[in-house]
Amino acid sequence: MTKLDKKTGKPSLKPKSGFIREGQHFLFRSNLNKKEVHLHFNAGFSGSLPAKPESHADALSIALSIGENPFLINPGSEFYKKENTWKKYFTGTLSHNTVRVNLKDQAELIKPFTWMNQFKTTVLEKKADNKVIKVKVQHDGYRKMGVNHLREIVFEKSKNLIWINDTIECQKSGFHFIEIPFHFHPKTFVKQNNFINYQASDESENLLNLVIDKKLKTKMIKGQIIPQILGWYSDSATTKEPCTTIYCTALIEQTATFQSIILVK
């Protein structure tokens, strides 16, 4: 699970680039033109899910902050303690910045914080130099469907440019519904420039551009309840608030790769 600072909502891991072995988390960091960018990539196993009350089905999820300000966020970890419907949302895959397949979580929540069909993650590639950090990880949470999810993160530190390559490997015939959400902190302002280009900003005049793969359908959602809960954030046990989610979908019949691009200015 990605640990967040309760006040800022940003990743709370130490600010250094590279591979953090405990829990298999990666933290990418750049400081270009005095603009510090932190990108957290969760490549953790779910083997410890039943033992940890804060565990989420969030393999290969990301969170990003600019300076002290969170932009791409995890949904929080407090309000879901109140009732089962919200618990399923806040601990589920769709509330995180990762891929969900066929409307199913990566692992199955059978009772509060007890998971079945747990996944395993495998680090396929990791390398870093002064200019670029590259990590590729896969998980097998959708193995019963004959599907593997591979996510490659390429971080060009000299440009504050991030490439996210999601490959959905289809090993069985049939169609698969793919969801790729990007959840933004409630204090960011998000606007749509065209059908694949979005821009997020904050009060500190930080700017993030997000370009979505043309093969995906996209729409902005905020504080949705029906047809499914989407676009919510919680930082306390008694409150939740709407946040903007860029919701991307596709229907595939064979192995496909979707590329998203983030540029921080």
Is 164 part of a structural domain of the chain?
A: yes
Q: In the predicted model, what is the mean pLDDT of residues 197-214?
A: 97
Residue 211: name the closest of 154, 262, 155 by CA: 262
Distance CA 62, CA 40 (A): 5
Does residue 6 fall inside a structural domain?
no
Output the pLDDT for position 112.
64
Q: Per residue in 99-147, pLDDT tens?
A: 999 999 998 877 666 777 778 899 999 998 888 999 999 999 999 999 9
9 falls within a domain: no
Residue 51 structure tokens:
């033992």
Quick count: other Cβ atoms within 10 Å of Cβ 84? 11
- Both tokens of 146, joined, read 């004959």
- The residue among 26, 49, 28 whose CA lies nearest residue 37 is 28
Strand arrangement, sheet containing 176-183: 100-101, 176-183, 244-252, 217-222
CATH of the domain at 164: 2.70.98.70
Q: pLDDT band at residue 179, thresholds of 50, 70 and 90? A: very high
11 occurs within a structural domain: no
Q: How many residues does the chain have?
A: 265
- CA–CA distance, 63 with 205 (Å, rounded to integer): 19
Backbone angles phi, psi at 182, to 5 degrees: -125, 110
- The answer to the question of residue 42 being in a domain is yes
Assigned domain for 137 exists: yes
User: Which residues does 116 contact at the CB level (< 8 Å), separation at least 6?
Assistant: 107, 108, 110
| For residue 182, pLDDT beyond 70 | yes
Within-domain flag for 7: no
Number of structural domains in the chain: 1
For 145, list phi and psi in degrees, rounded to 5: -85, -5
* Domain that residue 258 falls in: 18-264
Please count the CA atoms within 13 angstroms of the CA of 138 that sit on its side-chain side: 12
Residue the block writes with tokens 């940003």 = 10
* 13 part of a folded domain: no
